[in-house]
Amino acid sequence: MVRVGHLNLHVVEWGDPRRFPVLLLHGRSANAMDWQRLATRLADHYRVVAFDQRGHGLSDRPGRYTQRLLTGDVEAVVEAIGLRAFALIGHSMGGGIAWSVAARQPDNLRCLVLLEASPEPPGVHEPDSRTPQTPSGLTAPYQIVAWAAAQGWTKRIGRQDLGRWLTRYARPMPGGYLAAYDESAYDRAYVSGDMWPGIRTEWRAISRISCPTLVVIGEHGAVGMELGTLLVRRLRHGAFAVIPRAGHAVHLENLPATLAAVRPFLDAHEPAA
């Protein structure tokens, strides 16, 4: 655990701590172990770090969630564990936090990877709707997997990955098991508009990012070619990769292709020994 202000944040590491560090930021509802397979394959050459963002996994659940607060958490973790000249990879919500960190132009950020993460198109705003909440009365953690599959959320994701993502830190409660993140409070933050600062602000942040940035989308993902291409054009130093046979969770649905895109990018921006 790392103490950040009044919060305890659960940190996981793989690889040699003397190597070029890569910090991973998971998406909404996930946790650090969402990265297990990707992290172990990068760990032969990198120091790989992930943490449960506030309200997820074993980290504290303060009940308040905004991009500004989560960005501050990342910066505090970077300082607490002594990351210098590091790479940052964010998936989905984690990508939104990652570009917020990068927009501040920290001198020690070598490069950025956005996995299935982009602001909405300029001039377009589709309010977030409430998502179905994990039902009460579940008597075993893997019933969460079955329920999520019934919602159509888990296509092309292997059962082992689902177990890490949905049940690794599921909490036993008197009424049954609950998902391993603060569902209701995150839902309120998204639906109310409190989570993100606004489309114009987001695109201004994108335009301020000075480090090399790789935009990775899934062939069947949520971002899509048009928006992904726009994002690359708005970046100062943007590159693009499309992962075939993958949806939103590219690193879970097609790990070999994701690694084939991400690893050479990391290698190209590793500081000289």
**Both ends of the chain: CA-CA distance in Å?**
30
Q: Are 222 and 238 spatial neighbours (Cβ–Cβ below 8 Å)?
A: no
Structure pTM?
A: 0.94
Q: Which residue ranges make up each domain of the chain? A: 2-125+197-268
| Pairing mode of beta strands 176-178, 171-173 | antiparallel
Amino acid at 273: A
CATH of span 2-125+197-268? 3.40.50.1820
DSSP string, the chain: -EEETTEEE-EEEES-TTSPEEEEE--TT--GGGGHHHHHHHTTTSEEEEE--TTBTTS---S---HHHHHHHHHHHHHHHT--SEEEEEETHHHHHHHHHHHT--TTEEEEEEES--PPPTT---PPPPPPPPPS---STHHHHHHHHHTT--TT--HHHHIIIIITTPEEETTEEE-SB-HHHHHHHHHHT-SS--HHHHHHHHHH--S-EEEEEETTSSS-HHHHHHHHHHSTTEEEEEETT--S-HHHH-HHHHHHHHHHHHHHTSPP-
Q: What is the pLDDT of residue 150?
A: 84
Q: Are 162 and 148 spatial neighbours (Cβ–Cβ below 8 Å)?
A: yes
Q: What is the pLDDT of residue 90?
A: 98
Query: How far apart, in whole angstroms, are the C-alpha atoms of residue 174 and residue 139?
Result: 10
Amino acid at 266: L
pLDDT per residue as tens, the chain (273 positions): 999 989 999 999 999 999 999 999 999 999 999 999 999 999 999 999 999 999 999 999 999 999 999 999 999 999 999 998 999 999 999 999 999 999 998 899 999 999 999 999 987 777 677 888 888 888 888 888 888 888 887 888 888 888 877 777 888 888 788 888 999 999 999 999 999 999 999 999 999 999 999 999 999 999 999 999 999 999 999 999 999 999 999 999 999 999 999 999 999 999 876
Q: Are 183 and 194 spatial neighbours (Cβ–Cβ below 8 Å)?
A: no
